[in-house]
Amino acid sequence: MNIKKSYLGIYNGFQLMGWGYILSLYIFESSIKRKWFEFSVQADIFLRLFQSLAVAEIIHSAVGLVRSSVMTTMLQVSSRLLVVWGILYIVPEVARDNLGVPLIVISWSIAEMIRYSYYVADICRVKLNLLTWLRYSGFMVLYPTGISGEVLLIVSGIKRLKETEEYSFNLPNALNCSLYYWFALVTILITYIPGSKTMYTHMMRQRRKVLQNCN
């Protein structure tokens, strides 16, 4: 195994373990506390950590380490980073009693565990038909549920930021213009409509191509 495959194997294996830990931690803590619509500080930290590490995948695509599209990878990673840093980190109170929490934690974790398992198996030249099917079919459920969770959290963040006017700069100021973080989030949320359609169409195209070859 060359250096490239060794690195990708370690990276994907590390991410697989990380997302498995996040899901296990969330289920364990939520079942004990009986609070499924929020997560602990520890789970939040690990969610931000392993999602932030995914920035490396944009670099992997850009330098040709993997064959993934740079634009689609950037679109998916950036939307999740917005949620974990731009919402959950800046406005942590929105994660309390919010349906978006279990939707993103469970959907993201299962999707990533499937994806990284598939990558590790591929690097090791192990072909598992069930894993291939899950890799290219699981998104049909997990992508809509994950996106729904993201939207719920962003909308909650917008409401909270608009009420408190946090991270907003009103006139007069040195820039001589008004800046509202909540309004920026509204603009980004609008892009979810074409963006999610583009991602879903791309994944459906991949699914048809891969599963046809398997048959």
Which of the residues are catalytic?
Answer: 143, 150
Contacts of 92 (CB under 8 A, 6+ apart): 44
Amino acid of residue 139? F
How far apart are the C-alpha atoms of 185 and 181, rounded to whole Å? 6
How far apart are the C-alpha atoms of 156 and 160, rounded to whole Å? 6
Three-state secondary-structure class, residue 128: coil
User: Tokens 């932030």 — which residue?
Assistant: 52
Cα–Cα nearest to 80, from 131, 9, 22, 11: 22
